Amino acid sequence: MAALWIGLLTAGAFNASRLASWTEERQIPLVPAALRSAGAWTDDLGQKTLAKCNGASSWWDILLNGRAIAPSDPTAATAATPLPEQATPPPETPALEVDLCSDPLPPALPIGTAVPAVPTPPYTVLIIGDSMIEQGFGVELERALMPFPNITVYRKGKYSTGLSRDDYFDWNAHVLGLLEQYRPNVVVAMFGTNDAQGIWLPGHVALQYTNEGWDAEYEARARKFMGLLRGRNLYTFWVGMPNMAAPKFAGNMARLNRIFEASAAGEGMDYVSGWDLTSTADGAPWTLKQTADGKTFKLYGKDGIHLTEIGGRELARNVLRVMDERLGFSLFTPAPSASPAVSAPPPVMTPTPAPAPNAAIRILQIDSIALDCRARCYAVVPGGELAGQFPAVVLLPGWSGAEGIWQRSGSELLRLSSELQVIIVVPDSPAAGWFVDSPRIPGYAFESYVVDDVLPALAQELPLAGPVGLAGWSAGGHGALTIPLRRPGRFASVSAIAGIFDLPSWAHRWRLRDLFGPPVPENSGEWDAVTPVKLIRNFPDRLSSLPLLITVGTADGWALGGARQLRDTAVQAGVTIQYEEVAGAEHHWSLLLNQLPRHLAWHAEHLCGGTPLNESGTNRP
Q: Is the pLDDT of residue 119 over 90?
A: no
CATH 3.40.50.1820 boundaries in the chain = 359-608
What DSSP element (H or E) covers 31?
A: helix 31-53
- State phi, psi for 227 to the nearest 5 degrees: -60, -30
CATH 3.40.50.1110 boundaries in the chain = 98-327
Gyration radius of the chain over CA positions: 27
CA 568 vs CA 346, 539, 560, 580: distances in Å: 22, 15, 12, 13
What DSSP element (H or E) covers 290?
A: strand 288-290
Task: Name the burial class of residue 60, with classes exposed (0-12), middle (13-18) and buried (19+) by CB atoms within 10 angstroms of its CB.
Answer: middle
**Which DSSP string do the residues of 264-288 spell out, in sequence order?**
HHHTT-EEE-STTTTB-TTSPBPSE
Q: Is the pLDDT of residue 92 over 50?
A: no
Q: What does the pLDDT average to over 284-299?
A: 68
* Residue type at position 128: I
Residues 6+ positions from 600 with CB-CB distance below 8 Å = 393, 416, 420, 422, 424, 471
Identify the residue with better confidence: 233 or 344: 233
In CATH, 98-327 is 3.40.50.1110: yes
Q: Is the pLDDT of residue 247 over 50?
A: yes
pLDDT band at 443 (very low <50, low <70, confident <90, very high): confident
Q: Is the pLDDT of residue 256 over 50?
A: yes
* pLDDT, position 57: 34
CA 233 vs CA 108, 114, 118, 344: distances in Å: 18, 9, 9, 44
Nearest to 497 by CA among 404, 579, 573, 403: 579
> What's the rounded Cα separation, in Å, for the pair 609 and 207?
70
> What's the rounded Cα separation, in Å, for the pair 19 and 393?
63
Q: What distance, in Å, lies between the first and last C-alpha atoms of the chain?
A: 94
- How wide is the angle at C-alpha 477 spanned by C-alphas 523 and 411, nearest 5°? 150
pLDDT band at 2 (very low <50, low <70, confident <90, very high): low
Q: Which of 6-20, 39-53, 357-371, 515-529 has the lowest mean pLDDT?
A: 39-53
What's the CATH code, domain 359-608?
3.40.50.1820
Q: What does the pLDDT average to over 360-389?
A: 80
β-strand pairing of 373-382 with 548-553 = unpaired
391-425 pLDDT tens trace: 999 999 887 677 667 766 777 888 999 999 999 99
Tally Cβ neighbours within 10 Å of residue 399. 20
> What is residue 182's three-state secondary structure?
helix
Nearest to 556 by CA among 484, 494, 447, 477: 477
In this structure, what DSSP letter does residue 62 have?
A: I
Q: What does the pLDDT average to over 229-249?
A: 88
Q: Which of 110-114, 220-224, 318-322, 589-593 has the lowest mean pLDDT?
A: 110-114
Identify the residue with better confidence: 291 or 620: 291
Length of the chain in terms of residues written: 621
445-488 pLDDT tens trace: 999 999 999 999 998 888 888 789 999 999 899 999 999 999 99
175-212 pLDDT tens trace: 999 999 999 999 999 999 999 999 988 887 889 998 88
* pLDDT, position 225: 96
545-581 pLDDT tens trace: 899 999 999 998 889 999 999 999 999 999 999 999 9
* pLDDT, position 9: 52
Average pLDDT, the chain: 74
Residues 6+ positions from 246 with CB-CB distance below 8 Å = 48, 303, 304, 305
Alpha helices in 421-492 (DSSP H): 446-448, 455-461, 475-486
> What's the rounded Cα separation, in Å, for the pair 20 and 39?
8
pLDDT > 70: what percent of the chain?
Answer: 69
12-60 pLDDT tens trace: 554 454 444 444 333 333 343 444 444 444 444 443 333 333 333 332 2
CA torsion, ordered 294, 297, 300, 302, to nearest 10 deg? 170
β-strand pairing of 296-298 with 288-290 = antiparallel
In 390-478, where do the E strands start and end? 390-396, 423-427, 464-473
* pLDDT, position 292: 56
Residues 6+ positions from 173 with CB-CB distance below 8 Å = none
Q: What does the pLDDT average to over 143-149?
A: 82
* pLDDT, position 291: 58
> What's the rounded Cα separation, in Å, for the pair 264 and 51?
27
Identify the residue with better confidence: 609 or 216: 216
Residues 6+ positions from 518 with CB-CB distance below 8 Å = 92, 507
579 with 567: CB under 8 angstroms? yes
Nearest to 450 by CA among 420, 412, 413, 491: 491
Identify the residue with better confidence: 326 or 323: 323
Q: Is the pLDDT of residue 524 over 50?
A: yes
pLDDT band at 496 (very low <50, low <70, confident <90, very high): very high
